[in-house]
Amino acid sequence: MSMYPVLLNIKDKPVLIVGGGRLAKRKLLHLLEAGARITIVSPDLHPDIPTKQITWRAKHYDKSDLAGFSLVLACTDRADLNEQIYQESQDLQWVNNTSNRLASDFYNQGLVHSKNLIFSVSSQGMDYHLTKRVTRLLDSWVKDELPSLLEEGE
């Protein structure tokens, strides 16, 4: 069985990120680019997180934080807590557990943007190192080769 890939129109939709570290920053930037309304629950925030563009709950996570969010990213450095967030979510909530792919409702993908095109890479959770390598190769190809190939096709 394979996973089902989609593009979400997430503009103005509320998204919860639990944890405010390096990984949260990386996932946040893609979500902000797509216009999501982000709330972060974390006692601290990575210095590169743009505080003016998010709502920050400066506290430790508890279950009540999940209320009102369909999409949740569990990005803390505690695998047990990320798992707890996944377990405490309701049926209609989708949780990205970043420390255990086997207890996660959705995965992020390697992304390359080029004008209106989005190229995404996924190993369906099997090998993120491979995904990272292929994404880098794809990025070079999109920059170096694609423009001339598109010109030829015109």
Ligand X SMILES: C[C@@]1(CC(=O)O)c2cc3[nH]c(cc4nc(cc5[nH]c(cc(n2)[C@H]1CCC(=O)O)[C@@](C)(CC(=O)O)[C@@H]5CCC(=O)O)C(CC(=O)O)=C4CCC(=O)O)c(CCC(=O)O)c3CC(=O)O
Q: Contact residues for ligand NAI (CB under 6 A)? A: 18-24, 41-44, 60-61, 75-79, 81, 98-99
Of 44 and 48, the one with the shorter C-beta distance to ligand NAI is 44
Residues numbered 13-42 forming contacts with ligand X, rule: CB under 6 A: 26-27
Residues numbered 78-97 forming contacts with ligand X, rule: CB under 6 A: 79, 96
DSSP 96: E
Q: What does the DSSP assignment read for 58-76?
A: -S---GGGGTT-SEEEE--
Residue 146 site contact among ligand X, ligand NAI, none (CB < 5 to 8 Å, cut-off depends on kind): none
For 55, 93, 107, the CA distances from 123, given in Å and listed in that order, are: 32, 23, 10
Of 52 and 129, the one with the shorter C-beta distance to ligand NAI is 129
Please name the residues in contact with 55: beta carbons below 8 A apart, sequence gap of 6 or more.
Answer: 37, 38, 39, 40
- 120 near ligand X, judged by CB under 6 A: no
Helix axes 128-144, 146-153, angle to 10 degrees: 50
The least distance separating ligand X from the CB of residue 154, rounded to whole angstroms, comes to 30
Give me the residues that bind ligand X (CB under 6 A), please. 26-27, 79, 96, 98-101, 104, 107-110, 122-125, 128, 131-132, 135
